[in-house]
Every structure is written in structure tokens, then in C-alpha cells.
Amino acid sequence: MAKLADFKDLALDILFPKFCAGCGKQGKYICGSCELFISESSLICPVCGKVSFTGETHFNCNRGYKLDGLTSVWDYEGIIKKLIKNVKYGGAFDAINELLEKSFRVIINDSAGRFASFLQFMALDNTYITYVPMFFKKEKRRGFNQAEIIAKKIGKKINKPVIGLIDKIRETEDQASLNKEKRKVNLKDNFKILQGQVPNCLGQALVVDDVFTTGATMQECCKVLKKAGAKKVWGFALAKTV
């Protein structure tokens, strides 16, 4: 007997058909032919940006309130970049399911190698999921926070709690328009733990965002989490810039 979810998916496909972001073919957001042209990303140390086989922060980089690792499967270019922009600016939320499905297929296929540390981190009972917040006025204008949507879909997929822990204090310039040094200043001391959520910071946290560029945003989120008591903080982004 077909599940209710199957009928729901069928109805959505009829009402809102999916088209490949690469060639326009109907059926998926990334068709089988165009999937050959998407690029898997090398894992890096999220602090210095240099290659790290498992995505863990290098020993010499892990000083102060730094991320302990980063997982991001795709390079932010081509079809992946176009699709993530469609999510962020076009509200194509259903595309997140497809991107995550492809991401976790890659992760599971290399679960004993590159992604072993990430999976061990996520398997621990005291690991929870949170996400990079938006300034409330900006989120109200847009109508959603794509990082929160991604986080909730990951939480549902791996049966982990998702908790909104971090608040963005003020609206800032768009990070994409700034160089590396200005990005750090733009976000400095711009995040805080939401009132009443401090006890939930004990343990380990996965911070989710759509794209990892210089890491300034995730590092600032990591700092407030660790100051509040988080023992380890790992980052996850759908893609990272090349």
C-alpha cells in the first residue's frame, strides 16, 4: 500500500514540477546527465582553509573558540550554485531534499574514510543541530531562513534534535560584497545565545548553513556556543566556495 507521503510527493510533482537547474529537463533539480558535471569539494580545515582529509581542524589551528571541523560536499559553482540561489532567493525548498540526499549518499559511501570523523561526531547522543541565524527583520522580509530549513531536514533525516540557539543582534552588510578581513569585522560580536537556551549548549553542536565562504559567520556562531558551554562544534554547509 502506498504511503500518504508518496501521494503528497506525487501531488507536488504535478502541481510544481521539478526542472533541472542545468539543462531544464523535467523530473529532478539535477538530472542524471548534469550530475556528471557537479564537483565534489575537498575537505578543509575551517580555520586556515587548507586541505584536511577528514575536515577536522588542524591541531595548530584549534586555539580559542574555533570550529572543530567542517563538512561540505559540493563546490559552490555551476549547477550547485544556481540551485542554492534558487533556494535562497526563489524559495525552491524542495531542492534541499535532493541536495541533501546526494550529499549524504557521498558521505555514506566514504563513511570509513573522509567522513568518518563527522559521522562519529553526529552519532554521539549529546550532539544536537543548530543553524546560522538571520537578523529578525531580514528574515521577516524574506519569509524564511534557509539555514534553518536545511538544519530541520538534516535533523529529520538522522533523527537529531534541532534547536534555535543563536540570535543575530544587528543587520549587517551582505558578506558576499566584502573581502575576507571586512567580513570578520562585519560580524564581530554580532551573535548571542538566545535567552533561556544556555543549558542546551552543553554537549556538542552541529552548526548548519547553506554556503561556507571564509568561515567568518560560522566561526562567530561557534564562539558564542563554546562560550556558553559547548564542548565541540562542527560545521555543515551544502557547499563551499572554491
For 163-218, the pLDDT digits (tens) are 999 999 987 766 555 566 666 566 778 899 987 776 666 789 999 999 999 999 99
- Is residue 234 a contact partner of residue 121, using CB atoms and an 8 Å limit? yes
Per the prediction, the chain carries an average pLDDT of 88
pLDDT of residue 1: 42
Instruction: Please give the Cα distance from 223 to 204 (Å, whole number).
Output: 13
Instruction: Please give the Cα distance from 106 to 230 (Å, whole number).
Output: 28
pLDDT confidence bin for 74, thresholds 50/70/90: very high
pLDDT of residue 93: 87
pLDDT confidence bin for 2, thresholds 50/70/90: very low
Residue 193 zone, left/alpha/beta (φ > 0; ψ -120 to 50; rest):
beta
pLDDT of residue 91: 81
Instruction: Please give the Cα distance from 127 to 24 (Å, whole number).
Output: 39
Q: pTM for this structure?
A: 0.88
pLDDT confidence bin for 90, thresholds 50/70/90: confident
pLDDT of residue 109: 96
**Cβ neighbours of residue 86 under 8 Å, at least 6 residues apart?**
21, 92, 95
pLDDT confidence bin for 3, thresholds 50/70/90: low
Domains by residue range for the chain, with CATH = 17-240 (3.40.50)
Residue 154 buriedness (CB in 10 A; 0-12 / 13-18 / 19+):
buried
For 19-61, the pLDDT digits (tens) are 999 999 999 999 999 999 999 999 999 999 999 999 999 999 9
Q: Where are the beta strands (DSSP E) in 17-174?
A: 69-75, 127-131, 166-168
Q: Which residue has the higher pLDDT, 6 or 165?
A: 165
7 pLDDT above the threshold of 70? no
For 103-132, the pLDDT digits (tens) are 999 999 999 999 999 999 999 999 999 999
For 125-166, the pLDDT digits (tens) are 999 999 999 998 888 888 899 999 999 999 999 999 999 999
